[in-house]
Each structure stands twice: as C-alpha cells, then as structure tokens.
Amino acid sequence: MAVIDLKAQIGHLVHLQTIDSEIYTLKNEKELKPKEIEASEASFAEKKKHLVSLEESLLNLQKQRKDKELELASQEENIKKLQTQLYQLKTNKEYQAMLQQMEGEKANASVIEDRILELFDQVDKIKNDIAQEKQRLQEEERVYSQQKKNIQDRIKEIEDRLAQLEAQRKQITPNIDQKMLAQYERILSNREGLAIVTVKDNSCQGCNMFVPPQVINLIKMYERIITCEVCNRILYIENE
C-alpha cells in the first residue's frame, strides 16, 4: 500500500474546494439566466398589450364612423326623394304631412352628423394615444434589449470563467489520491458543492454542529480522513 501524505492531500482538497465553490456558485447563477431572459421577455410582451387594445379600439371607432357615414348618405337620399315628391302632392294636407316627415328626417340626419363629428374626435384622440404608446414602447424595447444583452454578456463571462476554473482543476486533481478524490466528489455533489470544511470553535463549518474534542484530535493526527458525523463533509483544521 502506497504511503499517502494525508496532510498534503488535505491541502490539495482545500485548494480544489476553493475552485469548486466558485464553479458551484457560477453554475447556479448561469442556470437562472434563461429564466431571467424569459421574465424580461414576458414583461415586455405584457407592455405591448395596451398598444394592441388601443389599435383594436381605433379600428372599431373607424368602422362605427364609416357605418354612420353610410347611414347619413342614405338619410340624405331619403330627404332628396321626399323633396321631389313634395311638388307632386295634390292637397295641402298631404303637403303639410310631407313637410313634417321631412323635418323628422332632417333632425335624424343632424343627430347622425353630430355622432360622426364625435367619432372623428375620438379617432383623433386614440391616434394620439397610439403615437404616444408607440414611443413609450420604443423606450421599453430599448430597456428590454439592454437587459437581455447584459444577461447574455454575463452568461458568456461565466462560461469563460468556468473554462478557466476547469483548467485549474485539472492541474490539481492528478496530485490527489483517486479514492480520496472520488469520496470528495461524491460529497461535493450531495452537499451543495461543499465537500471539505474547517472546524472552528468546535463546530463544523458545513452544518454548524458540534465536533467533539476527540474527533478534533483524530483530525490532527492525519491518519485517515475524518468526516462530520452530521453532514458527512470532510473536516480539517486551519493552520495546523
């Protein structure tokens, strides 16, 4: 059996842990990034809804106006028809009745005209609202694009850093006993990226549970790897 300098091995593991801790944090951050982009996208899409509803209202008002214009044209046609009939009437009574009917039709036409004018005003107002909304959305789109770019830049930054860290890792791992490395990596993946921790003031810095003095003595003897009884992480003493 090859003799292992356990103290030196622990030193390598501690070094490896600083790298792995950074890898763990960066990977977690990177995993959240697509969700951030989605959220930003969704918020921008939500902001566009108001414009869509304004544009629908505009179409609706324009259609109403067109209908009213057609209605007015047919009303005016009616009045003209009555006008020509007026002179063909034989009795004064008929003449008066027809005049009265024409007055009624003219009053109707005037109501429709007023409504058309109102609709013109409403269309103008909504066109103005749409122009403002489009300008606002332009600014929102600029903000959204910038946010997205920032996130993508950060992802790239994380990926570059991860590649660096992986390279550093590869320089250290050949110095570590394979079984020990396997144990370390197993704990790393089961314990939130933290496999080796110090004991400070008789407590494990991984889970804060009490570490008895006899266990601390065992750590200091460097005869075998000592793990925390509660969280299973490898324990070591700093500056020993």
What residues make contact with Zn ion under the rule CB under 5 A? 204, 206-207, 228, 230-231
Secondary structure E strands in 103-216: 196-200, 203-204
For residue 203, the minimal CB distance to Zn ion (Å) is 8
For residue 208, the minimal CB distance to Zn ion (Å) is 7
Residue nearer to Zn ion on the CB measure, 109 or 228: 228
For residue 190, the minimal CB distance to Zn ion (Å) is 12
Q: CA 44, CA 50: separation in Å to the nearest integer?
A: 11
In the sheet with 203-204, reading across from the earlier edge strand, the strands are 203-204, 196-200, 234-236
Residue nearer to Zn ion on the CB measure, 51 or 207: 207
Q: How many beta carbons lie within 10 A of that of residue 195, not counting itself?
A: 24
Residues 6+ apart with CB under 8 A from 21: 193, 194
Residue nearer to Zn ion on the CB measure, 61 or 234: 234
Q: Which two tokens stand for residue 4?
A: 């292992």
Contact 184, 195 (CB under 8 A): yes
Residue nearer to Zn ion on the CB measure, 77 or 192: 192
Helix then strand then coil, in percent of the chain rounded to 5, is: 80, 5, 15
Residue nearer to Zn ion on the CB measure, 168 or 203: 203
For residue 210, the minimal CB distance to Zn ion (Å) is 10
Residue nearer to Zn ion on the CB measure, 126 or 228: 228
For residue 184, the minimal CB distance to Zn ion (Å) is 15
Residues 6+ apart with CB under 8 A from 200: 238
For residue 15, the minimal CB distance to Zn ion (Å) is 20
Phi/psi zone of residue 158: left (φ > 0), alpha (ψ -120 to 50 degrees), beta?
A: alpha
Q: Which two tokens stand for residue 104?
A: 């009624």
